[in-house]
């Protein structure tokens, strides 16, 4: 279903071309002639049509798609929320799940220390990067498989599930061997080869919104994963790029209720990357829960001032402890537990 708007000086012949095209495509044309403009509606069902097809016809001013471009990800397709089950907890239900841990897996000691701290404070999932997408080729790029093994050890020791990033299609199988949740980073949100690869995995996926992506594009990226057979996708808002300079990114908190309206998929907030500043993690985490988020992913480092990456936005274990206590009160105020 689409509306083709003709230019005000479009000829009758140009409008006819549009009508004919609509019929050729197996749809029904609905003509409305106003005083200044003529529009043609395309109604009915047929094969998928790209709006661009009409844009290229002379006399066409614009094309307005009426239907949303995503399907499997839409609330219209699936009314009930997607609830992703793990050993002993779920994501997308009544509980707010907290994922926490260091930006990068730097060493066995650092990771185990972080894991011990976050499990004690109430986290359910350990985060930590073994493969790191860095803007500079000269920055620390992660420990690779060695890092995955350390994460596994931390998981075995604490019972925490593991979420970690995968950066290329050929590494999906390897990462899935160690991780419970595959993370797609913001910079790879539209890396379609990678989306297809995780779509074929049986592991749940945490898909981060690109810092330059609309909510619709995020849902389209999720659609790639769903269409490849993997129904367990969580969407993660981690800040978008704006002109504001005091924060690294701007947390788009309204994405939470909007995604809940448009889609059945759970929504996770990353307050650490969204703000880039340790002191904002507490208020932004509270915000996220008040807005209805299903989970949080938070950077915690045993010694932030020695972190190889993201130290400025990582919490100390004691700060994380305190944060978790405050979050419980907020969660209760919106009828959730944590």
Range 81-120, binding its own copies (CB under 8 A): none
Using CB under 8 A as the binding rule, the residues of this chain from 276 to 335 that contact its own copies are 278-280, 283-284, 286-287, 289-292, 304-312, 314, 329-330, 332-334
For residue 28, the minimal CB distance to its own copies (Å) is: 9
Number of CB atoms found within 10 A of residue 226's CB = 23
In angstroms, rounded to a whole number, what is the distance separating the alpha carbons of residues 118 and 337?
17
Rg from Cα positions in the chain: 23
Contact segment (CB under 8 A) with its own copies among 85-93, 107-115, 128-136, 200-208 equals 128-136
137 near its own copies (CB under 8 A) = yes
13 near its own copies (CB under 8 A) = no
CA angle 265, 91, 180 (to 5 degrees): 105
- Total number of residues that touch its own copies (CB under 8 A): 107
- How many residues in the chain? 338
231 near its own copies (CB under 8 A) = no
For residue 97, the minimal CB distance to its own copies (Å) is: 18
66 near its own copies (CB under 8 A) = yes
For residues 87 and 243, which CB has a smaller minimum distance to its own copies in the complex? Answer: 243
Residues 6 or more apart whose CB falls under 8 angstroms from that of 22 comprise 4, 28, 29, 40, 42
Using CB under 8 A as the binding rule, the residues of this chain from 28 to 57 that contact its own copies are 30, 32-37, 39, 41, 43-45, 48, 50, 52-53, 55-57
174 near its own copies (CB under 8 A) = no
Question: Of these, 93, 144, 169, 231, which contacts its own copies (CB under 8 A)?
Answer: 169
Question: Of these, 217, 231, 319, 321, which contacts its own copies (CB under 8 A)?
Answer: 217
For residue 157, the minimal CB distance to its own copies (Å) is: 26
- 75: tokens are 């609330």
Kindly write down the DSSP assignment for every residue of 143-208, as one continuous string: -THHHHHHHHHHHHHH--EEEEE--SGGGHHHHHHH-SEEEE-GGGTT-HHHHHHHHTSSS-EEEE
Q: Are 54 and 2 in contact (CB under 8 A)?
A: yes
Contact segment (CB under 8 A) with its own copies among 94-102, 106-114, 174-182, 257-265 equals 257-265
Q: Classify burial at 86, counting beta carbons within 10 Å of its beta carbon; exposed 0-12, middle 13-18, buried 19 or more.
A: middle
Question: Of these, 11, 16, 20, 64, which contacts its own copies (CB under 8 A)?
Answer: 64
Residue with tokens 């690294």: 248
253 near its own copies (CB under 8 A) = yes
For residue 315, the minimal CB distance to its own copies (Å) is: 11
For residue 86, the minimal CB distance to its own copies (Å) is: 26
DSSP for residue 250: B
For residue 209, the minimal CB distance to its own copies (Å) is: 10
Q: Find, among 219, 166, 224, the residue nearest to 199 by Cα.
A: 224
76 near its own copies (CB under 8 A) = yes
Number of CB atoms found within 10 A of residue 5's CB = 16
223 near its own copies (CB under 8 A) = yes
For residue 161, the minimal CB distance to its own copies (Å) is: 25
Q: Which helix (H) or strand (E) holds 262?
A: helix 255-262
For residues 85 and 257, which CB has a smaller minimum distance to its own copies in the complex? Answer: 257
């Amino acid at each position: 279903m689409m509306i083709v708007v003709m230019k005000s000086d479009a000829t009758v012949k140009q409008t006819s071309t549009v009508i004919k095209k609509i019929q050729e495509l197996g749809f029904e044309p609905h003509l409305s002639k106003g005083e200044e403009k003529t529009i043609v509606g395309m109604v009915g069902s047929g094969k998928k049509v790209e709006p661009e097809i009409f844009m290229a016809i002379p006399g066409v001013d614009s094309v307005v798609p009426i239907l949303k471009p995503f399907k499997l990800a839409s609330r219209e397709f699936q009314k009930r929320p997607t609830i992703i089950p793990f050993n002993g907890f779920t994501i997308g239900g009544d509980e707010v799940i907290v994922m926490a841990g260091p930006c990068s897996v730097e060493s066995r000691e650092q990771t185990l220390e972080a894991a011990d701290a976050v499990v004690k404070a109430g986290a359910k999932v350990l985060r930590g990067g073994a493969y790191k997408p860095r803007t500079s080729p000269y920055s620390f790029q992660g420990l690779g498989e060695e890092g995955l093994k350390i994460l596994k050890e931390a998981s075995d020791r604490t019972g925490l599930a593991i979420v970690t990033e995968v950066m290329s299609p050929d590494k999906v199988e390897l990462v899935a061997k160690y991780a419970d949740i595959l993370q797609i980073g913001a910079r790879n949100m539209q890396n379609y080869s990678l989306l297809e690869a995780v779509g074929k995995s049986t592991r749940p996926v945490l898909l981060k919104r690109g810092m330059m992506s609309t909510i619709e594009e995020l849902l389209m990226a999720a659609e790639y994963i769903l269409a490849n057979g993997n129904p367990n996708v969580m969407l993660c808002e981690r800040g978008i790029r704006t002109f504001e300079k005091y924060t690294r990114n701007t947390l788009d908190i309204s994405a939470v209720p909007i995604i809940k309206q448009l889609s059945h998929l759970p929504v996770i907030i990353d307050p650490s990357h969204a703000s880039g500043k340790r002191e904002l993690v507490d208020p932004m985490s509270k915000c996220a829960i008040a807005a209805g988020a299903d989970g949080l992913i938070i950077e915690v480092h045993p010694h932030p001032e020695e972190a190889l990456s993201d130290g400025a936005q990582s919490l100390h274990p004691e700060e994380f402890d305190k944060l978790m206590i405050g979050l419980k009160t907020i969660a209760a105020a919106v009828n959730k537990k944590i």
